[in-house]
Amino acid sequence: MASSTTVENRGVLTVLSEQKVLLAILIIGIALSFASPYFLTYYNIVNIFSFMSIEGVIVIGMAFLIIVGELDLSVGSNMAFATILAITFQKYGVAAGVIAGIAGGTVVGIVNGFLVTRLKLSSVATTLGMMVALNGVVFALTQSRSVKGTNPDFLKIAQPVVLNISGSIIIFLILVIAFQIVLRRTYFGRSVYSVGGNSVASRLFGIKVDRVRVACFTIAGVLAGVAGVLLAAKIGVASGRLGVNTALIVITAVLLGGVSLSGGEGSVVKAFLGFLLIAILNNAMVLLRLSSYIQDMIRGGILILILVIDAINVERAKYR
């Protein structure tokens, strides 16, 4: 059903859907620059990337998971978990905070991976449980309050480094490039596509299918940890209310980028473009002063719309 996207075998539709996102970004961008003189300013563009830099890190991990044919609904709680760990440990030094946050996220990712592969549970149900449980853990650790970070060195991670560009934006962009290379140019990356495309065939070809799946969950966990640390540095506060909408936004971004929910195709860059489109729409909604309630609605509506378009494309591809 899902054709593989090697360079020589690119379907017309895949190329088109790739361009569709870019096209949408351009059209909306041009329309916005007319609607608001503020849109195309340097400050605003940095602002868009700053919005992307936290949850964008999670988008990378979710892209790996969706390509391998799994889903993780616990990324938001996991990010909040990493945030409270980072905030708790940054008292003992910057490194302690960073390591604690990333380690926490990683452990959650590994646990998710083992639950899904060893016990053969559905990833949606498992990570749904993990999401609820972790949310409780975060509330327990914060004692249902907002916990403040105090170490100024730690908070510097998110401060502007050069030309108003913050450290988190740079880290985010480096991670996008690094993981795109991992996905496209390594044996592991090819196994991710292969397992997502056809896990039974992959097993017969000698790919350690479960190990690839656990690795993808772990990557998602590590990146949720990184996002949590960046978030902790950016806002300097941890609370149980963080990350409530994250899973929705991140999954929408990956699907919007043209990564198919049926697995086996897509890329980190596609997911990045999907999130860029969301970030621009978000920026537009702020610039046009739409209420946050309407923003929520539009986001949910977009998710449903993409699913429908994706389904129509798959259906058409069948009869091509």
Partner 1 sequence: MKSANFLVNTWDVFRRRPQLLILLALVVVLSIMTPSFATIGNVINIFKQVSVIAIVACGLTLVVVSGALDLSVGSAVSLLTVVSATIQLNNDLAAVLVPLAVALVLGLFNGLIITSFKVNPIIVTLGALSVFAGAALIYTNGAIIIGIPGTWYSFLGQGKLVGVPFHVVVFIAIAVVCEVVLSRTKFGKALIYIGTNGEAARIVGIRTRMVRIVAFLISAVSAAVAGVILSSRMNSGSPVAGVGFEFDAITAIVIGGNSLTGGRGSIRNTIIGVLLLAVIVNALTLYNVPFAFQNITKGFLIILAITVDVRARSKYGK
Residue 48 CB burial class (10 angstroms; 0-12, 13-18, ≥19): middle
Compute the C-alpha angle 268/270/274, nearest 5°.
115
* Least gap, CB of 78 to partner 1 (angstroms): 12
Q: Of residues 142-181, which lie at the interface with partner 1 (CB under 8 A)?
A: 143-144
For Cα atoms 135, 137, 225, give the angle at the middle one, nearest 5 degrees.
Answer: 75
CB atoms near residue 135 (< 10 Å): 21
Q: Is 251 in the site for partner 1 (CB under 8 A)?
A: yes
Which of residues 140, 181, 201, 288 is near partner 1 by CB under 8 A?
A: 140
Specify the long-range contacts of residues 9-17, CB closer than 8 Å, at least 24 apart: 11/317, 11/320, 13/313, 13/316, 13/317, 13/320, 14/258, 14/265, 17/258, 17/313
Residues between 257 and 316 with contacts to partner 1, criterion CB under 8 A: 261, 291, 293-304, 307-308, 310-312, 315
Nearer to partner 1, 54 or 249 (CB): 249
For residue 145, report the phi and psi dihedrals to the nearest 5 degrees: -120, 180
Per CB under 8 A, 247 contacts partner 1:
yes
The only residue of 124, 201, 204, 288 in contact with partner 1, by rule CB under 8 A: 124
Q: How far is the CB of 174 from partner 1 (least distance, A)?
A: 30
- Selected from 4, 44, 47, 245, the binder of partner 1 by CB under 8 A is 245
Rounded distance, CA 57 to CA 216, Å?
14
Q: Which is nearer to partner 1, 126 or 166 (CB)?
A: 126
Quick one: 192 or 306, whose CB is closer to partner 1?
Answer: 306
* Residue 151, SS3 per DSSP: coil
Binding site for partner 1 (CB under 8 A): 71, 115, 119-122, 124-126, 128-140, 143-144, 240, 245, 247-248, 251-252, 255, 261, 291, 293-304, 307-308, 310-312, 315
